[in-house]
Structure 1
Amino acid sequence: MHDLKIKRVYEPYDERDGYRILIDRLWPRGISKEKAHLNEWNKDVTPSPALRKWFSHDPKLFAGFKQAYEMELKDNIHVIWFIEHIETLLKEENVTLLYGAKSPTCNHAIILKEWIETHRGVENESSRNNDGRAS
């Protein structure tokens, strides 16, 4: 199994990043698609616009932001697929979640990575039929 990492999209590309996924709702300012070296841009697992606006990357609000974003992840139908997608990719290579925020310690990528690591391999019963098949 390979590593799941997070990295600021403005940091230089490194081949050890493996499969690179931008996990921001908005395209990061001042960076070209070529320089970003993306394999994928996933907006479906990012914080809602209202939550992002409320948080505004204020470190004093991070605990509340984390709690609210985790609630959004819990209720987000795209998260199950995304976790399964990450698990599949990690069998072949590293996966790097890219974010545009300035702070390496106060951003949604930290929360999403932790969420993925906590929920990997956990079968979500609500997405299964009674016979165990995916619905």
Structure 2
Amino acid sequence: MAEGEVRVRRVYEEPDGDDGARVLVDRLWPRGLAKSAARLEAWCKPVAPSTELRTWYGHAPERFAEFARRYRSELAEPERAEALARLRDLAAAGPLTLLTATRRPEISEAAVLAEVLAEMLRQPGKHPGA
């Protein structure tokens, strides 16, 4: 992976030499995973979706588009926007791997974050919900 690249992986997968900075973006710690085994650079809880949104979504594939829209709106909230800016800085400095415990990372908040970060890196100053 190169500078500015963002990938999404399950936190339970073995780290890859190309991962770069590894950041867990879930609000809750993954079940059954020792903190020492995760090999994280950071755990960025503030960027996670609200409990209400996460509960509503329930990883139902048919709700993903609406989840992504609502989550992008949440990312504009001050605490989340600050955490998102830290992730953008990590991605700008080198490869970034967003980690999640979900079984389907392609329909997770990590996938939405990867898209948002890619947009931010291409168009600095762009609002995540825009």
Return the alpha-carbon distance in structure 2 between the equivalents of residues 40 and 7 of structure 1. 15
Say if 2:118 is the partner of 1:105.
no
Residue in structure 2 matched with residue 39 of structure 1 by the alignment? 41
Runs of 4+ in structure 1 deviating by more than 4 angstroms, as ranges, are none
Q: Cα distance, 1:85 vs. partner?
A: 2.7
- Residue number in structure 1 paired with 2:26: 24
Contact 1:80 1:124 in 2 (8 A): no
**Larger C-alpha radius of gyration, 1 or 2?**
1
The one-letter code matched in structure 2 to 1:67 is: R
- 1:86 deviates by 3.3
Partner SS, residue 10 of structure 1? coil
State the partner residue of 1:73: 75
Mapped to 2, the partners of 1:83 and 1:50 lie a distance apart of: 20
Q: Deviations over 1:9-32 (max 9, x none)?
A: 011112221111100000011111
| Distance in 1 of aligned mates of 2:84 and 2:57 | 25
Alignment length, in residue pairs?
Answer: 124
Percentage of identical aligned residues:
35
User: What pairs with 1:1-135 in structure 2 (closer than 5 Å)?
Assistant: 2=3, 3-74=5-76, 76-120=77-121, 122-123=124-125
Amino acid at match of 2:98: L
Aligned amino acid, residue 113 of structure 1: A
**Alpha-carbon offset, residue 83 of structure 1:** 4.2
When residues 47 and 91 of structure 1 are mapped into structure 2, their CA distance, relative to the original with a 3 A threshold, is: closer
Give the secondary structure class of the aligned counterpart of 2:45.
Answer: coil
CA–CA distance in structure 1, aligned partners of residues 92 and 69 of structure 2? 30
